[in-house]
């Protein structure tokens, strides 16, 4: 192993882990060229990231870093996520997770079907979440909300069903809070914007290249397992009813 290649690999890791861009033709363009043009640098970076449970993704001649599943150092625990998003209870956090997934599905449904949509708005997300959760609230009386199932889809659906669409504010005045469907979506989008996954312009949310890179590779690696699980749960629930 040549020391200069180790140094280049360390530079690539350092730039990515601190949130800097590595893009062909950009300020760190030489590192992009080193990564793809030098086999030893490529192998060293891959070995380092594997040991640290990190994933590296390439999208439109740019490199992006993402924490691997269960990464307790570079990822977030549920408690950290609650604090970062601004919710208090697990059921609220899981509702935000569900909102995130419906946002994701607004642009992708599988690895071969990117939907060429420029942006999404809060009202679009509300409609999709309501539609997706409706199967769990058709026979609301059969659901028990005891402690052991508070983290279930039924509980998330019940929470969503109880929320008003909004608190009477206009679209441009929606505040991030736990008071309504619109404010929950706003909370979620605020987190996604903070993670550089979306950019907000005039109440429209545009996905970043980081979002597109991570989501595209998620479908390639996991083949939509969350979507499959959700679909199976819906099907079983419909059969029971």
Residue 45, in any domain of the structure: yes
* Residue 152 pLDDT level (bands cut at 50, 70, 90): low
Together in a domain, 58 and 95: no
Same domain, 199 and 175: yes
Convert the pLDDT of each residue in 73-96 to its tens digit: 777 888 999 999 999 998 899 999
Residue 208 sits in the same domain as residue 116:
yes
Question: Which of helix, strand or coil describes residue 13?
Answer: helix
Per DSSP, helices labelled H in 52-180 are 78-85, 90-105, 122-133, 153-162
Asked whether residue 54 falls in the same domain as residue 113, the answer is no
Determine what percent of the chain is predicted with pLDDT higher than 90. 41
> Do the domain assignments include residue 73?
no
Higher pLDDT, 30 or 134: 30
Q: How many domains does the chain have?
A: 2
Per the listing, tokens 């009386």 go with 141
Cα gap 183→198, rounded to integer Å: 17
Average pLDDT over residues 202-215: 89
In a domain, 72, yes or no: no
pLDDT at residue 112, rounded to an integer: 53
Measure CA of the first residue to CA of the last residue in the chain; give whole Å. Answer: 63
Say whether both 53 and 92 belong to one domain: no
- Domain housing 31: 3-67
Phi, then psi, of 77 in degrees rounded to 5: -80, 170
Last residue of a domain, one of 45, 67, 89: 67
Q: Is the pLDDT of residue 47 over 70?
A: yes
The answer to whether residues 53 and 133 belong to one domain is no
Residue 174 in domain: yes
Q: Is the confidence at residue 23, as pLDDT, over 60?
A: yes
Last residue of a domain, one of 48, 67, 86: 67
What letter does residue 68 receive in the DSSP assignment? P
Domain co-membership, 60 together with 113: no
Indicate if 84 and 38 belong to the same structural domain. no
pLDDT of residue 116: 62
Q: What is the pLDDT of residues 97-132, one digit of tens each?
A: 999 988 988 887 654 555 567 899 999 999 999 988
Mean pLDDT of the chain: 80
Whether the predicted pLDDT of 138 surpasses 90: no
Quick one: pLDDT at residue 22? 92
- Domain ends where: 67, 95, 118? 67
The radius of gyration of the chain from alpha carbons, rounded to an integer in Å, stands at 20
pLDDT at residue 238 in the model:
43
**Better-predicted residue by pLDDT, 48 or 106:** 48
Question: Rounded to whole angstroms, how far apart are CA atoms 219 and 110?
Answer: 6
Mean pLDDT confidence for 126-149? 66
Structure tokens at 50: 């594997």
pLDDT surpassing 70 at residue 5? yes
State residue 145's pLDDT score: 44
**Same domain as 90, residue 55:** no
The Cα–Cα gap between 82 and 90 comes to 8
How far apart, in whole angstroms, are the C-alpha atoms of residue 189 and residue 99? 9
Of the two residues 22 and 218, the one the predictor is more confident about is: 22
Supply the pLDDT for residue 151.
47
The per-residue pLDDT for 6 is 94
- Is the domain of 122 the same as that of 220? yes
Whether residue 42 sits in one domain with residue 119: no
Choice between 226 and 66, residue whose per-residue pLDDT is larger? 66
Question: Would the pLDDT of 233 be above 50?
Answer: no
Residues 117 and 52 in one domain: no
The residue count of the chain comes to 241
């Amino acid at each position: 192993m040549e020391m200069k290649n180790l140094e280049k690999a360390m530079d690539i890791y350092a730039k990515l882990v601190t949130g800097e861009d590595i893009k062909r033709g950009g300020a760190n363009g030489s590192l992009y060229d080193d990564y793809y043009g030098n086999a030893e640098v490529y192998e060293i970076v891959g070995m380092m990231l594997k040991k640290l449970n990190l994933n590296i993704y390439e999208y439109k001649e740019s490199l992006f870093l993402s924490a691997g599943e269960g990464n307790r150092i570079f990822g977030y625990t549920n408690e950290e996520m609650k604090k970062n998003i601004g919710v208090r209870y697990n059921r609220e956090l899981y509702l935000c997770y569900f909102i995130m997934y419906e946002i994701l599905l607004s642009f992708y449904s599988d690895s071969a079907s990117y939907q060429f949509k420029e942006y999404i708005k809060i009202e679009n997300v509300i409609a999709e979440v309501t539609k997706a959760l409706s199967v769990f609230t058709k026979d609301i009386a059969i659901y028990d909300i005891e402690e052991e199932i508070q983290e279930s889809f039924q509980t998330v659906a019940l929470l969503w069903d109880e929320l008003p669409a909004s608190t009477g504010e206009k679209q441009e005045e929606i505040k991030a809070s736990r008071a309504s469907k619109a404010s929950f979506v706003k909370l979620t989008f605020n987190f996604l914007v903070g993670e550089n996954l979306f950019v907000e312009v005039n109440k429209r949310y545009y996905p970043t290249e980081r979002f597109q890179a991570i989501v595209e590779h998620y479908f390639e690696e996991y083949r939509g397992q969350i979507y499959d699980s959700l679909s199976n749960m819906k099907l079983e629930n419909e059969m029971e009813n």
